């Protein structure tokens, strides 16, 4: 239990709680920190499974209040894919790797969730034209997600790297 009562763990819990709250307050559509939490977890959580589990828990808790929908599985799956991208790219954190991970995870989210919207709702015809229209109509949300993911990754990952660099008690002992 003592290993969880340290400044590093408490900062991580604070980030998670802030992410839950941010989904519940009014915000620009698709500008939220959930994908950044998945990437942050891939970079910093000692138990990497939490990088997938925590974003899904955050989404589920906030979706209880916001509303459940027919594409929920695709949304949750997208955060798992984002975490997997983070596992591959964020073994070593650098600005270029964070930007690439953010870009790729935002794009994966866009592709997966909008395919689900096209396939599982009656908003678009189940034709190639319907699929094209679905992705075209979603471009403003993609732009917002890219913006949000970049901003939140900068704040969360960049901020945590600075904490680790300048505040020794936030560093994790790395076992090689």
**pLDDT tens column, 107-154:** 999 999 999 999 999 999 999 999 999 999 999 999 999 999 999 999
The DSSP element (H or E) to which 20 belongs, if any, is helix 7-24
* Ordered domains of the chain (ranges, CATH): 2-158 (1.10.1760)
Q: What is the mean pLDDT of residues 148-167?
A: 91
- Percent of the chain whose pLDDT exceeds 70: 94
* pLDDT at residue number 175: 32
Question: SS3 of 91, please?
Answer: coil
Q: For residue 36, give the nearest of 151, 149, 147, 144 by alpha carbon.
A: 149
How many angstroms separate the CA atoms of 73 and 76, rounded? 5
Residue 85 in contact with residue 109, Cβ under 8 Å?
A: no
Instruction: Give the pLDDT band of residue 26 (cuts 50, 70, 90).
Output: confident
Q: What would the pLDDT profile of 71-109 be if each residue is shown by its tens digit?
A: 999 999 999 999 999 999 999 999 999 999 999 999 999
């Amino acid at each position: 239990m003592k290993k969880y009562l340290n400044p590093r763990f408490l900062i991580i819990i604070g980030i998670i709680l802030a992410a839950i709250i941010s989904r519940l307050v009014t915000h620009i559509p698709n500008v939220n920190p959930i994908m950044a939490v998945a990437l942050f977890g891939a970079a910093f959580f000692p138990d990497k499974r939490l990088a997938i589990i925590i974003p899904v828990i955050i989404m589920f808790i906030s979706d209880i209040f916001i509303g459940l929908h027919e594409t929920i599985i695709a949304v949750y799956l997208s955060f798992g894919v984002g975490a997997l991208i983070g596992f591959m790219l964020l073994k070593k954190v650098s600005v270029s790797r964070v930007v690439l991970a953010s870009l790729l995870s935002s794009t994966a989210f866009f592709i997966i969730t909008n395919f689900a919207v096209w396939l599982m709702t009656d908003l678009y015809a189940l034709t190639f034209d319907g699929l094209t229209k679905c992705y075209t109509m979603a471009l403003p949300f993609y732009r917002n997600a890219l913006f949000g993911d970049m901003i939140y990754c900068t704040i969360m990952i960049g901020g945590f790297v600075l904490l680790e660099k300048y505040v020794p008690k936030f560093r994790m002992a790395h076992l090689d």
